[in-house]
Amino acid sequence: MEKDYAKANILYVPVLLILAMYVVYPFFDGIRIAFTNWNGFSQKFKFVGATNLIRLFADGNVRIAFVNTLVYGFGSTLLQQILGLAYAVLLTGDFRGRTVVRTIIYLPVLISALVMGAMWYYVVQYDGALNEVLVLRGHSKVFWLSQRTTTVSLLVVINTFQYVGVSMVIYIAGIQAIPGTYVEAATVEGAGAWRRFGKIILPLLFPALLTSITINLIGGFKLFDIIMALTAGGPGYTTHSLATLIYSTYFGGQQAGFSAAIGLLLFVTILFFTLVFNRFVRGREVEYT
């Protein structure tokens, strides 16, 4: 029968063809383009060696975008773990309205990040909801979207609010998988709520933590929609991520070669941090014994 199954291998050929054409071929073509000075539309271009790759390290805008990308990635990941874990602990408790709260925290995950960013614009714009509160309390209005540190932090927070639901459901699933006897035993032995959380629940949530962090890191590094909706990388180049810089370098700057090189940088960045993270945590899981 094994031989007959092998005949069915033909069933995955379409998938391989599509992936070869739309992922593998562009991947290598992207490396080729990164070594040219192509502008994106002209028939003429030259191979310029490693010029674009060297420029990745020299270019001030790339440096800003790279640092921002790390902030978007690590900042969102940190906030999402803290909030996600807190929400999960709260929502595995028993109280009225629990289901509604869960639903509303999770709902933004399913909404387009671009639309979510657009809706937050009404909160943070100069005549928006946030500034109205400030004025009411006697402060003056703040340009939330005009200064790098403030704006980048704000984008991290907005991204967190949108995707905290992902971490939350992962942690809820993790907490519910912990045998109730463990927690009961600790309670009988006199461990308080904090101690139970720190000594029993948190260590046993390690696999959930890994999953959640990996997803959040990759998601944060790839941040694109929310930036496009709220700042489009501005003012100037101060809030770009690598992802939005790829876009603006290609279509705005008409430097396809350099844009492809930034694409490689994004690829390497994500690969590097996911691998380092997974290497770092491997073998540190706590087992039920």
Partner 1 sequence: MMSAHTRRPISAKTFVGLVIVAVQLLPVYVTLTVALKGQTDLSSVWVLPAAPLWDNFAQALGAGKLARAFMNTTIITVAATALVVLLGALAGYPLARSRSRLNSVVLGFILAIMMIPALSLLVPLYVLMNRLRAISTFQGIIPVHVAFNLPLTVFLFTNFIRSVPRELDEAAFLDGCSVYSIFYRIMLPLLKPVTVTSVILTSVAVWNDFQYSIYFLQKSEMRVITLAINGFFGISGSNLHVGSAAALLSIIPVTVLFLVLQRYFVSGMVAGAIK
- Tokens matching residue 157: 């927070």
Total binding residues for partner 1 by CB under 8 A? 90
The verdict on 84 binding partner 1 (CB under 8 A) reads no
Give least dist CB 142 to partner 1, A: 15
C-beta of 71 vs 270, nearer to partner 1: 270
The verdict on 104 binding partner 1 (CB under 8 A) reads yes
C-beta of 75 vs 108, nearer to partner 1: 108
The verdict on 6 binding partner 1 (CB under 8 A) reads yes
Nearest to 144 by CA among 161, 164, 122: 122
Alpha carbon distance 107, 104 (integer Å): 5
Give least dist CB 211 to partner 1, A: 6
C-beta of 148 vs 222, nearer to partner 1: 222
- Tokens matching residue 196: 């139970």
Alpha carbon distance 75, 25 (integer Å): 34
The verdict on 140 binding partner 1 (CB under 8 A) reads no
Show contacts with partner 1 in window 249-278 (CB under 8 A): 250, 256, 259-260, 263-264, 266-267, 270-271, 274
Helices (H), the chain: 2-7, 13-19, 25-34, 51-58, 60-70, 76-92, 98-106, 113-124, 129-136, 148-177, 180-188, 193-196, 202-204, 206-221, 225-230, 242-247, 256-281
Alpha carbon distance 208, 225 (integer Å): 26
For residue 47, what are the β-bridge partners?
36
Taking phi first (over 0 means left), then psi (-120 to 50 degrees means alpha), and beta for anything else, what does residue 8 get? alpha
C-beta of 19 vs 185, nearer to partner 1: 19
Give least dist CB 133 to partner 1, A: 8
In the list 50, 54, 134, 173, the residue contacting partner 1 (rule: CB under 8 A) is 173
- Contact stretch for partner 1 (CB under 8 A) within 74-82, 100-108, 147-155, 190-198: 100-108
